Amino acid sequence: MTNGMKTPEDKPQLSHISPQGEARMVDVADKPVTVREATASALVTMRGAVLDALLAGTLPKGDALATARVAAILGAKRTSDLIPMCHPLPIDGIQVEFARVDPERISVRCTVRATARTGVEMEALTGAAIAALTIYDMAKAADRGIVIGPIQLERKSGGRRGPYVRASQ
């Protein structure tokens, strides 16, 4: 099993493709169980007055951040139902944070932790994305021009390849 490693010929192998070229879920049975953690972020841009109302919890649909937090948790937990080749994971914890980064932008950060054989990057990315989409849904009546993005992995730890931290931009 290659799990994305290079073959003796030094050619990268796609771990989600069988030797016959068929899509498959990677077998992780031989990987060690380790503590894995990942943080992803999503940026949501909207008019400043709408962001003020979002942060105050006074949007017409109610407390959008409370709803977005629950949506992020549900999204992270259901990642394997949404993304075909993701393994269902025993998630140990999920943390969701919101921070205003300037007068028109809010950042969503979703951190997921699991003790498992495979990483939680997709769960963190899904959580951040679902939170951002929920903010959009709850604020769209006040601002139809809301923009989501980028959505990106910020850091990860655990596993064979070791830690990853996004370089500052």
Q: What is the mean pLDDT of residues 120-127?
A: 98
The predicted-structure confidence for 134-145, as pLDDT tens digits, reads as follows 999 999 999 999
**CATH numbers and ranges of domains, the chain:** 42-158 (3.30.70.640)
Question: Is residue 15 classed exposed, middle or buried when 0-12, 13-18 and 19+ CB atoms within 10 A define those classes?
Answer: middle
Q: Does the N-terminal peptide bond of residue 32 adopt cis geometry, omega within 30 degrees of 0?
A: no
- Which pLDDT score is estimated for 169? 56
Active site residue 92: no
- Which pLDDT score is estimated for 28? 87
Pick the catalytic residue: 10, 27, 102, 137? 137
Average pLDDT of every residue of the chain: 90
Could you tell me which of 37, 56, 163 has the C-alpha nearest to residue 109?
Answer: 37
Q: How confident is the model at residue 5 (pLDDT cuts 50, 70, 90)?
A: very low
Q: How confident is the model at residue 3 (pLDDT cuts 50, 70, 90)?
A: very low
**Alpha carbons 109 and 31: distance in angstroms, whole number:** 28
Q: What is the mean pLDDT of residues 89-112?
A: 98
Sheet holding 147-157, edge to edge: 91-102, 105-116, 34-45, 147-157, 164-165
Residue 6 pLDDT exceeds 50: no
pTM, entire model: 0.88
More confident residue, 149 or 11: 149
